[in-house]
Every structure is written in C-alpha cells, then in structure tokens.
Amino acid sequence: MAAPFLTLRDVTLTFGGSPLLEGAELMVHEGDRICLVGRNGSGKSTLLKVAADILQADGGERVVQSGVTVRYLPQEPDLAGFATTLAYVEAGLGPSDDPHRALRLLEDLGLHGEEEPKTLSGGEIRRAALARVLAPEPDVLLLDEPTNHLDLPAIEWLESELKGMRSALVLISHDRRFLENLSRATIWLDRGRTRRMDRGFSEFESWRDDLLEQEEAARHKLDRKIAMELDWLRYGVTARRKRNQRRLGELGALRERRKTERRVQGEVKMALAEAEQSGKLVIEAKGISKSFDRPIVTDFSIRIARGDRIGVVGANGAGKSTLLGLLTGRLAPDAGTVKIGANVEMVTLDQKREALDPNATLKETLTGGSGDNVSVGGEMRHVIGYMKDFLFTPEQANTPVSVLSGGERGRLMLARALARTANLMVLDEPTNDLDLETLDLLEEMLGDHPGTVIVVSHDRDFLDRVCSSVVMSEGEGRWVDYAGGYSDMVAQRGAGVAARRVEKPDAAPKAEKAARPVEDVAKKRRLSFKEKHALETLPGKIEKLQKELAKLHEMLADPDLYARDPARFDKVSKAVEERQAALGAAEDEWLALEMLREEIEG
C-alpha cells in the first residue's frame, strides 16, 4: 500500500484535568472517505485541528507526505480582513489553482462574490468558507461540521460536489444521512482514543455496540478476578510470606487499573412532560398568505390533527420560520384564517438559542432564578438531578450560558423545553449541534409523544424517522404538503430539493431558474406506502368497530342493567363513546385518503 498522505501517531493533549486525547491516531490515504465520530466534547474538533497543524499536541507525531496539500474547514470561519467573499476565497488558492473555480463555487452556493463579510449571515459565512477550501481541490480535506447553517439544497449540492472530487476526506458531522452517503471508513474517538472501522457510517452503531459489549464483558471478568484475589488475601494462610508478595503486587495493579479505567459517558435521559389531550383538530389554516418585501406564503391551507408530525422543509430564506409563526398564531396572515384547536398547550424551541440569557447560569436558566428545584411536568425535581439527565455535571450548575458549547446550549434548550407540559411541540432546528446519541433519544421521545409535533429541520434522516408528512417550499410563496417523511417527499416530487437560491431584493442580478409549476408537482404526487396501507386496512378496522358498537348497544338495551350493575353500565357507556370516536376518526381518515387517491388517479 502507498504511504499515507497524512498521519497522526500517539497524539496526547490535556487542557487541565483529564486528558482529552490519549494516544489518538489518524491515517489518511489517497481517496479515503473517513467520518470522525464521537460524543460532544470527546475531542473530535481538537483532533482535526492537530491534523490541520493549527493546534500543537502535548505529545505524538504528525507526518504529511511531501507535496501533499491539506485544507481545513473550521466550525467558525473568520472572514475578517477581506473586502469581499471572492477575495476571501481567492486568498486560499495556490499559484497553479484555477481562479475561475472560486467564482463558480460561490455562485453554486448562492453567492455572487461581491458580498461584504460583515453583512453575511451564519449560513452565508459557511458557504464562503466551503468555497475557499474546495476551490484548490486539495489532496486532503478536513471538514468540521460542513453542513452547519446550510439548508437542504446546499447540503445536497455539497454531497454531490464532494463525491466528484479526488480529495481524501475526513468529516465531522451530526448529519447522519450526510455521513452515510459519503463515508467509506469510520474512526470512533472515545475516551481519548481512536478506533477505526474500514466500513462506512451506516455500520458504525452495530460495530460500536459490539465493542462496548466486549468491553463490559472484560470489565466483569476483571471485577471477578479482583474479588478472587481479595478472597485469597483474606483467607490464604501464606498471604504474608515473601514469595507471595508478587501476587499482592498484582492485586494492587488490578485495583489501580480498575480505578483509572475511563468509563463510557452516561446517556441523556429525556422524558416529555405531557399536558392534557388536545382536541382532535389542533391547527386549521385556510388560504393563508403573507408577504414582506416578497411573497412568503401564498394561499396555503392545511389541517393538523392531534398526533400529526409535520416537517417543514425549504431553502434558507424561503420563509419556514414565518410559516411557523402563522400556524402558531404568533404572526397574523395578510389573508386567510388560522384556527387553533381546543385545549392546545404549546412549547417552542428556538433555532438560534436566543431565548437563553448568556449571563444567566445553567442553574438559573432551569429554575427561573428561584431556589434549587425545577418543575418538570408539574412535579418538583432538584436541579442537579435534572441536569445530570442531560449530561451536565454538578460543577456546571453555576457556569454562565455564554461559555457553554453549541451542543451544551442545545441540550440546555431541550432540558428547559421538555420540562414544560405540552401537547403541541414546535421545534425550529432542534438537531443543531446535538450528538448522534442525543439525536436518537430525541427521535424516540418525539415518536412516543402522544401530542402533535411541528418541526423545521435540514436533517433528512431526522425527518424520515419523525415526520408523518412534510410541507415543502416550492418557491415564490408556494408550499405543498406531502405525505410521509423526507424520502417519501423526494419520491413524490421525482427529485430531491433543488439547489436553487432564494433571491433577496438587494442581491446582485443573476439568472433565475424556472420554478416548478404547481401542476407539475401535482402530477408527481402519488400515494405513499403508509397511505396505501391505510387505505387497505381502514375498511377492516371500520367494520370491526361497527361490530363492537353493535354488541355494546345490545348491552345498553337491557333496561335492568343500570339497576343491577351501575359500574358495568358506566363502563359500557364509556366504551361506546370511545368506539364512536375511533369510528369517526377512521371514517374521516379513509374518506380523506380515498378523495386523495381519486384526485391523483383522475
């Protein structure tokens, strides 16, 4: 095998306290596609900075093959000192690099090169930084969270661009689908050490679980050996003889190994505080429209029922947050009506974490600044115990919010939101900065939640796992509701999210891509697997409910039932109400699906 382009050997690094990296290693060969995974705070970004020669390790070795070029994308790019985005990108080019590629990449990413860095949003800064590292087509690309602040069109464009490049890749990302589509090898950074699997991220979790099971078995074996040695020490008559001092020394070594062994960090414990059940209809919007300097929402209608999981998808600037504001009553529509159903208790999660006071401590944020207890679903819990559920240590109780990492702020927002009783969850980019384990638990929690969920997300895997329908921006204020998750939406549209730019009024002129007509979208619409299954099974369910109701009505027809057994009479009456409600819901669902089928086939 040819010599690796980039090698890290036995890297150690400590920032006061426990070592962050302990013998970590990284080897990148030509054409490698490596994803670097691990818990938030495990040292992934630090290891990538060492690989990029931005951070010096306490120990270990970094070797780069002669003539190999390495480019690094940081989590927080700095454009200070550059007059325009094009100047920033061109500054990253080498003498032999194509200057035209810089402008082409900027335009592909929705920029025109004349933007002033101080006026850019977080997403635009990320796009400019991506253009800078991609333009030279280096031998090794080190990308730290490249999809942060990007919308779905840009993420899909980036995937396609990286697949076509010759560069070796090392990726850090919390976007599961992005990693699955690009990686061919996985490096797991855990408790300061790295372990490599020469397979893509799709097989990582089963591989990791096998390793943890083996580790637990070894730990159990070690505990048994210590117990046996202690038993010998207590009862062995020759324990104090000189020839047995070696065995005593071995026991001490076993104890020291057990004491210093770094354990796997605990898991986040999430539980949603449930409110009373809302009415069957949660939100009904009829013909709503909203414009600012351009149409944001045009003649959009939707009915959201109890238990629905609605995903909202679109390019940055398409108006996803505006649509959320209209549906939840925070914004008044210019035309149309929005009706909020009965007994709706809503909790929202803000995408920019603006609801967090940077000067408040973690404890004050959870308790509201009063006492040591936090109300979780109406029950009082000590704040330290609740913090531990979200992987915060007791020592962090008085830590200001301003010094928390992005992932920690995300967990804090979740902790505060999940403490409130709610039957409608409105989540704007809840997956930002969350590690994969926390994402899994959030998905499970939302899946088990009996209430209603509306979520804005650019995470395709999250949308597939959580959503029962997806509302997609088709441009120029048009929004279309597709049944199923993100993959179902793509199948119905016949394509993924087009990588097109939403123009701003003051943006420099550029060629407009023709928007997909609503008629074309409708032609691509077809029943999802879930809808087909429901159409096939609902008639049987309706017939079963009708038979059950008939039997229950026969019982109630007995004139002596109430006098003979009042408790049974009440039970049967309640069962009648429940079956009638279930029958009505099933009939409504079947009728809506049958009308949809006729519309598609017609």
Structural fold of domain 529-601: Helix Hairpins (1.10.287)
451 burial via Cβ count (<10 Å: 0-12, 13-18, 19+): buried
Judged by average pLDDT, the poorest of 24-28, 310-314, 536-540 is 536-540
Contact 30, 82 (CB under 8 A): no
Question: Hey, where are the domains in the chain?
Answer: 6-206, 529-601
Cα atoms in the Cβ-side hemisphere of radius 13 Å centred on 524: 19
Topology (CATH level 3) of domain 6-206: Rossmann fold (3.40.50)
**Confidence at 511, pLDDT banded by 50, 70, 90:** very low
Count of alpha carbons within 13 angstroms of residue 445, beta-carbon side? 19
Dihedral sign from CA coordinates of 74, 78, 82, 83: positive
Query: Which residues sit opposite 382 in a β-bridge?
Result: 373
How far is it, in rounded angstroms, from Cα 136 to Cα 83?
20
Digit-coded pLDDT (tens) for 82-124: 999 999 999 999 888 898 999 999 999 989 899 999 888 888 8
* Mean pLDDT, all residues of the chain: 81
Helices and strands: H and E segment counts in the chain = 19, 20
> Per mean pLDDT, which of 53-67, 418-432, 482-496 is the most reliable?
53-67
Q: Which residues pair with 170 in a beta bridge?
A: 34, 142
The first and second tokens of residue 384, run together, are: 């330290």
Beta bridge partners of 293: none
Question: Which amino acid, one-letter code, is at 477?
Answer: G
**CB-based contacts of 267, cutoff 8 Å, min separation 6:** 391, 437, 441
pLDDT above 50: residue 241: no
**pLDDT on residue 496:** 64
465 and 455 in contact (C-beta within 8 Å)? no
Judged against a pLDDT cut of 80, whether residue 41 lies above it is answered with no
pLDDT given for residue 263 in this prediction: 47
What average pLDDT does the segment 257-274 reach? 51
- In the three-class reduction of DSSP (H, G, I as helix; E, B as strand; rest coil), residue 406 is classed as helix
Query: pLDDT over 70 for what percent of the chain?
Result: 82
pLDDT digits (tens, 9 = 90+) for 287-331: 999 998 889 999 999 999 888 889 999 888 788 989 999 999 989
Between 210 and 445, where is the model more confident?
210
What pLDDT band is residue 30 in, cutting at 50, 70 and 90? very high
Q: Residue 593: is its pLDDT beyond 50?
A: yes
Angle 44-48-49 from CA coordinates, rounded to 5°: 115
CA distances from 38 to 21, 60, 157, 172, 438 (A): 12, 21, 26, 9, 12
Mode of pairing for the β-strands spanning 6-14 and 59-64 = antiparallel
**pLDDT tens figures, 138-175:** 999 999 999 988 888 899 999 999 999 999 999 999 89
> What whole-number percentage of the chain has pLDDT above 90?
33
For 371-386, how does the pLDDT look when each residue is reduced to its tens digit (9 = 90+)? 888 877 667 888 888 8
* Full-model pTM: 0.66
Give the rounded distance of the alpha carbon of 378 from its chain centre.
28
Query: What is the per-residue pLDDT for 585?
Result: 80
Strand bridging mode 19-28 / 70-73: unpaired
Token pair for 492:
């119905």
| Res 237: pLDDT | 45
Q: pLDDT tens digits for 2-16?
A: 889 999 999 999 876
The pLDDT, as a whole number, for residue 125 is 92
